[in-house]
Amino acid sequence: MAITTTVEAANRERMDIVITGHVDHGKSTLVGRLLADTQSLPEGKLQAVKDSCKKNGRVFEYAFLLDALEDEQKQGITIDSARIFFKSKVREYIIIDAPGHIEFLRNMLSGASRAVAAVLVIDAVEGVAENSKRHGLLLSLLGISQVLVVVNKLDALNYDRQVFEDIKKEYVAYLETLKVKPLAFVPVSAREGKNITEAASEMPWYTGKTVLEILDSFRNLPSNEDSFFAMPVQDVYRFSNDNDERRIYAGTIVSGEISVGESVTFLPSRKEAHIKNIEVWNAPSKTRAITAEASGFTLEEEIYVKRGEVMVKSAEKAPVQTAERIRANVIWLGVRPFSFNKSYLLKLGSARAEVRLEKIESFLGEGEREEYSELRRNDCGSVILSLSRPMAVSAFFDNPVLGRFVIVDGYDAAGGGIVLENLDAKKTWQSLNSFEGVNTGGGFEEELFALLKKYFPHRFE
């Protein structure tokens, strides 16, 4: 159950942020402070919790404001990604309070995937924990580039500047290995409310912004409407009743816009056609369709494309490419390890392909290991994946919808990740032909078509 506040203006900007960090590093206290110091709590809530603590002989803590989940109250840990609302003078925020325990990484991943910015909390007394690194890697995996690192509990160390600087130096060095550059480090005491919404006189050596000021400086992601056009084909419908010969290519536009008459290319088949009509169910046809619209298209030319292809504009240099090998960041949540010499199913949008783990370039997991032989449950890693057939992909940072995937082991969604790079080495999958169930027919078709187009270009004009 989430704590909610009254929304004063329905048209104010909103931003989803995730607050994460190792258990007991002070996430809930920080969130409680933000709620209280911005007057975002329901009227009387703060006093009610204080009265309850007094009645039960407990010392009041701001973290108690978040103790709404029954299991959380019993166990003293956050088990779900609770959604909490608060507001500043600039905008409204939806805080995703992500679990700190390693057992709840799946919940953390689910919650953080909706966020555009992150606050990562580190306990000044304990220092950088293994989970602090793991959460940093998860933020990197999810492509969250706006990261604020809060070094908490400095009141317990007499607001020692050197402790803050040492933690900052260590964590910056770690994040550099992930190519994550935090926008700011802030020394705070969440319990005492120092540097949360107002500057702390106890830390005159810190002249930067408060936590709230930095959050207000973050930016929401730009709308995909002004970006390149792309639409994964969800399905192709063919009607035959009453002499209706339409073949409708249906899907949801993930970015950009398109109009009747424009030339489109389907990837990975590279087949081209022109938009004839934009169909609407039980309504007149449209002449233009935009981002987020579920649309159906008929084409001037008779071509055959399949579910899973991506439609782009022929005249546009969209960063959507055909790939057979990709470099990706992966988190593995399956019971069985993600290992070599085994095939899995990769789902990216409406596309499906067999996939194989080719290489683990780096990983973060429990315990020390001499070599990267597999990814175990809750491990994160930068890997190279080989696909059984070409697939249209985009780097996550160019288009999150076309750059985020799920890996299925048997019938279980066992892992997920984002595409970093298209390595595009077409012979690799065929050279790894020892594993079972691989259908390379689509790849052969694509290679044949590419050769024909290369040596007989006049036939494809």
Q: Is the dihedral of CA 279, 284, 285, 287 positive or negative?
A: negative
What pLDDT, on the 0 to 100 scale, is given for residue 330? 87
Give the architecture-level CATH label for domain 14-217.
3-Layer(aba) Sandwich (3.40)
Max Cα-Cα span within the chain: 86
Residue 390: name the closest of 425, 416, 361 by CA: 425
Each residue of 294-325: b (16+ CB within 10 Å) or e? ebbbbbeeeeebebbbbbbbeebebbbbbbbb
Give me the mean pLDDT over the 350-379 stretch: 80
What pLDDT, on the 0 to 100 scale, is given for residue 68? 45
Does an H or E element contain 211, and which? helix 211-217
Q: What percent of the chain has pLDDT over 70?
A: 78
Decide whether 14-217 matches 320-422 in CATH topology: no
* pLDDT over threshold 70, residue 433: no
DSSP 38-51: TT-SPTTHHHHHHH
320-422, superfamily in CATH?
A: Translation factors (2.40.30.10)
Residue type for position 352: R
How high does pLDDT run on average in the chain? Answer: 80
What pLDDT, on the 0 to 100 scale, is given for residue 6? 43
Nearest 5°: phi and psi at 121?
-100, 130
* pLDDT over threshold 70, residue 220: yes
> What are 146's strand-pairing partners?
117
* Domain locations along the chain: 14-217, 225-313, 320-422
Residue 353 in contact with residue 297, Cβ under 8 Å? no
Give me the mean pLDDT over the 442-453 stretch: 47
* pLDDT over threshold 50, residue 315: yes
Give me the mean pLDDT over the 102-123 stretch: 69
How far from the centroid of its chain's Cα atoms is residue 67's Cα?
Answer: 27
Q: Selecting from 3.40.630.30, 3.40.190.10, 2.40.30.10, 3.30.1490.20, what CATH number does the domain 225-313 have? A: 2.40.30.10
Could you tell me the pLDDT band of residue 454, with boundaries at 50, 70 and 90? low
Residue 121 in contact with residue 26, Cβ under 8 Å? yes
- Top pLDDT among 452 and 272 is at 272
Q: Is the dihedral of CA 252, 257, 259, 262 positive or negative?
A: negative
Query: What distance in Å separates the CA atoms of residue 366 and residue 131, rounded to the nearest whole number?
Result: 10
